[in-house]
Structure 1
Amino acid sequence: MKHVKKVAVAVVLFIAATSFVNAQSKVAHINVTDLLAEMPEMKSAQAELKKLQETYRADIESSMTELKNKYTQYQSEASAKSKEENEKRAIELQGFEKNIGEAQQAAQQELAKKQAELFEPISKKAMAAIEKVAASQGFDYVIDATQGGGLIVAKGPDLLPAVKQELGF
């Protein structure tokens, strides 16, 4: 009799556990990095950033060439100039170098600012589409499957195709 009770309790627990597992929240995953990379808006934003970066790079290279030419000129004229004049020129070159360094930092800051400005609306659009697809398919949680995103197992449904469809590409 005790054996039958144990079996009955085990069966009830098994059924309860199975019901509990089936009642769990639905979870899906999506690689947000892949989604963003495939969005046409992202491609045009990256092209705009690359164009801006090339502009800054050309300006800085021009300044570096100018600095190099002045340095060469000042070195060749150094023997004909006074010590005071050579020291003055050295200070001028150091100031020019400092200005180039500041221009490089400013360019990096401007690029970062422009990137944030361009990528924010694209990210918001992607997140809105993910939320819409997840809601329409009844998912309670969507995990970012990007490498290093903390995902251990990605056996659930991948929302990337449905979200791309939602975005029209």
Structure 2
Amino acid sequence: MRVVLQRVRQASVTVGEEVISSIGRGVCVLVGIHKNDTQADIEFIVRKVLNTRLFEDKNGKRWQLGVKDAGLEVLSVSQFTLYCELKGNKPDYRHAMGGEAAEKFYEDFMTHLSKQYSSDKIKDGKFGAMMQVNIQNDGPVTINIDSPRMKNEENEKVTE
């Protein structure tokens, strides 16, 4: 799995003319699912989303609290394009998990995220829809996180 974690002051997802989800302060998470991802990838990414220390503590000291410890919100958006590989100038998405399997996997991710935190603080977009994601990035702070399997595959490519 691959996520782009963005610290936000607010974020929302619109489908058509309807705002379907919105959050205040917290994180917006763009979620890419690799065709070989497993439950272990979900568990790793959920732990990182909830615990990566992007927020200040009550004394104003930076980088002390994760979104969960700070009691903030999470907006998750599925984004298969995170597994784009360019062939010349043409995008190739062969590394992304296919439609139905990815939708089930994303639902499992969202279920696990909600079980590890307050489900009322977890929002998401609409899987497979054309969405407009509006973010007010705070900082800006943007962190890319790959699950360990992805890191191992990248290291294997480097040593080949």
Shorter-chain TM-score range: under 0.3
The alignment's TM-score, normalised by the length of structure 2, stands at: 0.27
The alignment's TM-score, normalised by the length of structure 1, stands at: 0.26
Rg larger for: 1
Structure with the bigger percentage of helix:
1
